[in-house]
Structure 1
Amino acid sequence: MLRNLFSWRHKDGGSNTSDGASSTSSSPIPSSPVSSTSPGWRIFSRPSPRTPRSPDIKIRNSEVEAGSAGLIMENRPNNLPAKTAYEQLKHKQEYQQMVSAAKKKELREAKERKKAQANLQRQEEQLASAVAMWNNEFLPKWETMHTHKKCRELWWQGLPSCVRGRVWKMAIGNELNVTPQLYGIMVQRSVEKLVTLSECGSVASQDDVISDCGDLEGTLDLIHLDVSRTFPHLCIFQKGGPYHDPLHHILGAYACYRPDVGYVQGMSFLAATLLLNMDEADSFIAFSNLLNRPAHMAFFRVDQPVMCAYYQAFEELLVANLPSLGDHLKNIGVTPDLYILDWLLTVFSRPLPLDAAVRIWDVYLRDGEEFLLRAAIGILKMYEPVLMNQECTATAAQFLTRLPEDLCVDALFKAIASVRTSAQKRTFTHILQAHMDAIGSNAV
């Protein structure tokens, strides 16, 4: 029976072929009783022999319609029962529905493509306009324009990548007066210390040198390990990558420049984010000045009283904005130090996708450390439904340590925009200072 279905040919329709195809293509046969002149049963229409098949040719809706016509509208072969009038009408209606659905789908897809193209064109125009404003209006007159309402509004929308490095450089500033020449000296000093480290074994009688080499060895080993673990998905900071040595130089130079701070895990993400937007010397200058800010210096030097003040200020703002979530996290044992520490140390570069992290960097460098806590609460607000369903401390903390890669940046900033950084008529500065004073008085 199957052989008849696929290879049957009417004796007047031509010779049989192995695949049951006619030597010439024909259109579907309208429904009518089977006659001796019927061209036969065709499952699908076959292209003309003059049109060779190609595996690269995509099947279009019209081809699907033709195949559907062959399947539904054709008469049955002579050795099968003829279609009834009801079947003919039913198959005709099904065919018309399939054609109508295919046409609607094609129109819908065309409309979506047109809409996407219009959105892309609009985004490109907005980007070009923003770049022109930054280059022509804001950056040349930075001292007067960076606080202008128009500049701040455009800043909130995200800096264009082609001007981001210059804006960050001017926003961070250089209060420490670090120069490229100083950076070169620090890099050379770090290289010399590597040589000294290799010679430590031959000066065992000098205890002070041995002690210094031992501390330096741990620092350099940690830097070497962390450089390769920084943004591993980018593959540019790993050994042999174009940014491996520059990042190693910046971190080693800073360890020599500020031996009182040294190197702390998390610094590599800050330096790498700067290095992705600036040249090497400017990245070191910005990195040194950024770490000199109160919040970063307190966290990298592990100043416990100041860190506790930030944690308590964050918890107060969390309760003011998300009381239910704040209580839930407290009940399951998820304290701020389990996730906020990493968020602040790396300015969200490690837990967030990079495109979201740099947007937070943009506004952080505009508004200061207050925005870091505001962004943190915005993240919690965005994922409040997920976190409210978490009952395990480890699971919730793990989720907050590495947030989803498909995070929508626009949705995140919409959540951040709704966050209040004041409570009980007190500003963030007053809240933070009150907790610092309370911790100081308790210590006394």
Structure 2
Amino acid sequence: MDLHAEDAGDDSDDEDGDPSGQFENVSLDAPTPTSPPVQTATLKDVVDGKPSLPSAVSIATNGGHAGSQRGSIAGSHRGSISGSHRGSADVSSAASGSSTPRRHAPPAHPHPFPIPTSPRSGPVPQVTDLPGKKGNTPPAALGVKGVSTMDKVLSRTRMQHLPPKPKAEDETHLHEWEQMMTKAREHEAERRKLQEARRAERERHLLAVTPRWEALLARDFSVQKVRENESLRQLWFQGVPTHLRGKAWSLAIGNPLAMHKADAYHGYLRRAERALANGRFPPDILEQIEADLDDTLPILHVFQRGSPVRDELKDLVCAWVVYRSDSGRGYAPYITLLAAMFALVSPPAQAFLSLCNFLSRPCLHAFYTDTADEIDAFYRVFENLQADKFPRIYANCKNLGLRLPESYFRSVLVEQVPFEAACRLWDQIVLEGDGYIFRAALAIFGFLEPRLYYPDKDEIASVLEGRNAATAAIAERERERARLRGERYEESLDGKLSVFGLHEHELFDWLAQDGWKDSRFERLVVRELPD
């Protein structure tokens, strides 16, 4: 092999000259000393793998002599050496004692995009030295304890599809978030204390006015007299005592269907028991009743399987199904919620009588008989009231093709609000009529107003139905935190909208100053339902 070719291989990486400058003073015109001939490897020898190349010792011995010829040889022989000769040049450099370290590829960036360097993103992170440099610590191997590379760049306060924040900024924001969550928990604790104090005050008030309630319900009771007397109406608004609620509801609802008070329930119950014993009760309806009973007021923990209260409620619902079959109708969703409300405050016979008469009112009759024309008419009534009270929310819902969920009407708001608030709402609904359902729904819209401007149908629907994913995730996280800390927590929600902070006092504070007018609702009903 020609020594000139070997020198050219050493210089093949410096196509643009000598970057190190160590040969810049060598004269290209100096006489070239003679050198012993060196055997040149042929292409055939290279292919056949014959060891025709000179040894590293001979190259090192002639290193000084070859260096004097580098300038004249580089131009004539550059590029004539194949890639197989390049390795021998590296061996030559190592043998000649060169202090230049080998270059390594830089480490791969942990993200496919650069770290932001704008002033708003905080300080620019320092770039670590390349491996092999002085003062550089090699990364820890897998399985070694310590902060992982991902943890060093992963942002905890920014979505993963966005470029990560600088670590200092991320830690600052995480600390601020923890402070906000701490304040929110303190605020929630204060709210609960205030709620308990107001509930205790209300209990003392109801105890003080119990004689007045007993006198009101003992004499000739008249709904019209209570509605026309502002003092009695305010008394009713403050809530009926729990032990008198069943009697108050039954008197306010009355018996417009003229059903037999003593025999109606027991007659339909005997028919239901015979159908169950003979296997003639529809099995799909029976299965649906059992499933709905499992979801009926779980916050009270009184309707679990095997509970005698559950058995009484099931008998009540089965008797109602038989009663509905006489008019050619079957089971209806949400009936277990309505039956449970009456079963909790009245004996079964009175609860059945109140349930049937309560569902005979125009609005509930339309939804529980699936009369499409009447349902649309009641929705037009609500939209007119909504447009007057909340025009921006109405316009947003209209553009999105969204209207109030039917569950608001079918469950008479039992599913939406906490149980205590539902009882007080029913105090008003049995007295005031269907209009109070619309009034309470508008109050809920007022409470949720800031969440109802977003121009997204699924988002608005998830808020109205109480299934917003982000809010549910926060509630689940707080339950998990309470579980880990050994604190008291409730698995089920007391009303679907309570996750947004809607509770009894917030709702009735809004109703106390909503400026509702019964005449407006009555005119709309007459206009939309002339028959």
TM-score by length of 1: 0.63
Q: Which runs of 5+ in 1 are unaligned?
A: 1-114, 199-212
1:430 is matched with which residue: 519, 523, 531?
523
Which aligned pairs between 1:18-33 and structure 2 lie closer than 5 A? none
1:302 is matched with which residue: 370, 376, 390?
370
Paired AA for residue 341 in structure 2: T
Which aligned pairs between 1:154-233 and structure 2 lie closer than 5 A? 154-176=235-257, 177-197=259-279, 216-233=282-299
2:502 is matched with which residue: 375, 400, 407?
407
Which aligned pairs between 1:52-91 and structure 2 lie closer than 5 A? none
Q: Which residue of 1 aligns with 2:415?
A: 350
- In the alignment, is the contact (CA less than 8 A) between 1:325 and 1:384 conserved in 2? yes
Pairing 1:397–2:474 present: no
Q: Post-superposition shift, 1:274? A: 1.0
Q: Which residue of 2 aligns with 1:368?
A: 433
CA distance in 1, matches of 2:234, 2:390: 26
2:219 is matched with which residue: 127, 133, 140?
140
Pairing 1:128–2:207 present: yes
CA distance in 2, matches of 1:295, 1:118: 37
Q: Post-superposition shift, 1:122? A: 5.0
Classify the secondary structure of the residue corresponding to 2:529.
helix
2:306 is matched with which residue: 240, 250, 270?
240
1:120–1:221 Cα change, 3 Å: closer
Paired AA for residue 397 in structure 1: A
CA distance in 1, matches of 2:513, 2:380: 21
Paired AA for residue 436 in structure 1: L
1:117–1:315 Cα change, 3 Å: closer
Q: Post-superposition shift, 1:196? A: 2.7
Paired AA for residue 262 in structure 1: G
1:194–1:120 Cα change, 3 Å: closer
1:359–1:119 Cα change, 3 Å: closer
Greater per-residue helix proportion: 1
Q: Post-superposition shift, 1:128? A: 1.6
CA distance in 1, matches of 2:274, 2:523: 47
CA distance in 1, matches of 2:369, 2:214: 38
Q: Post-superposition shift, 1:174? A: 1.6
CA distance in 1, matches of 2:286, 2:374: 28
CA distance in 2, matches of 1:132, 1:397: 45
Q: Which residue of 1 aligns with 2:62?
A: none
Q: Post-superposition shift, 1:281? A: 1.4
Further displaced range: 280-289 or 169-178: 169-178
CA distance in 2, matches of 1:387, 1:327: 11
1:232–1:408 Cα change, 3 Å: closer
CA distance in 1, matches of 2:458, 2:425: 26
Q: Which residue of 2 aligns with 1:34?
A: none
RMSD after superposition? 2.6
CA distance in 2, matches of 1:220, 1:117: 40
Paired AA for residue 284 in structure 2: G
Deviations 1:250-273 (A, max 9, x none): 111011112123220011100001
1:150–1:418 Cα change, 3 Å: closer
1:121–1:183 Cα change, 3 Å: closer
Pairing 1:269–2:343 present: no
Classify the secondary structure of the residue corresponding to 2:337.
helix
1:415–1:116 Cα change, 3 Å: closer
CA distance in 2, matches of 1:150, 1:139: 18
CA distance in 1, matches of 2:203, 2:248: 20
Pairing 1:315–2:315 present: no
Further displaced range: 165-174 or 304-313: 165-174
1:415–1:187 Cα change, 3 Å: same
- In the alignment, is the contact (CA less than 8 A) between 2:217 and 2:248 conserved in 1? no
- The higher radius of gyration belongs to 2
CA distance in 1, matches of 2:418, 2:198: 23
1:359 is matched with which residue: 397, 420, 424?
424
1:359–1:125 Cα change, 3 Å: closer
Deviations 1:330-354 (A, max 9, x none): 2333223xx1x11111110111111
Aligned length: 303
CA distance in 1, matches of 2:230, 2:431: 12
- In the alignment, is the contact (CA less than 8 A) between 1:422 and 1:428 conserved in 2? yes
1:145–1:427 Cα change, 3 Å: closer
Q: Which runs of 5+ in 2 are unaligned?
A: 1-193, 466-495
Q: Post-superposition shift, 1:120? A: 7.5
Further displaced range: 397-406 or 158-167: 397-406
CA distance in 2, matches of 1:297, 1:435: 16
CA distance in 2, matches of 1:323, 1:400: 17
Q: Which residue of 1 aligns with 2:84?
A: none
**Consecutive aligned runs of 4 or more in structure 1 exceeding 6 Å deviation:** 115-121
Pairing 1:382–2:442 present: no
- In the alignment, is the contact (CA less than 8 A) between 1:266 and 1:346 conserved in 2? yes
Q: Post-superposition shift, 1:137? A: 3.9
1:418–1:318 Cα change, 3 Å: farther
State the identity as a percent.
27
1:237–1:330 Cα change, 3 Å: same
- In the alignment, is the contact (CA less than 8 A) between 1:348 and 1:357 conserved in 2? yes
CA distance in 2, matches of 1:375, 1:118: 24
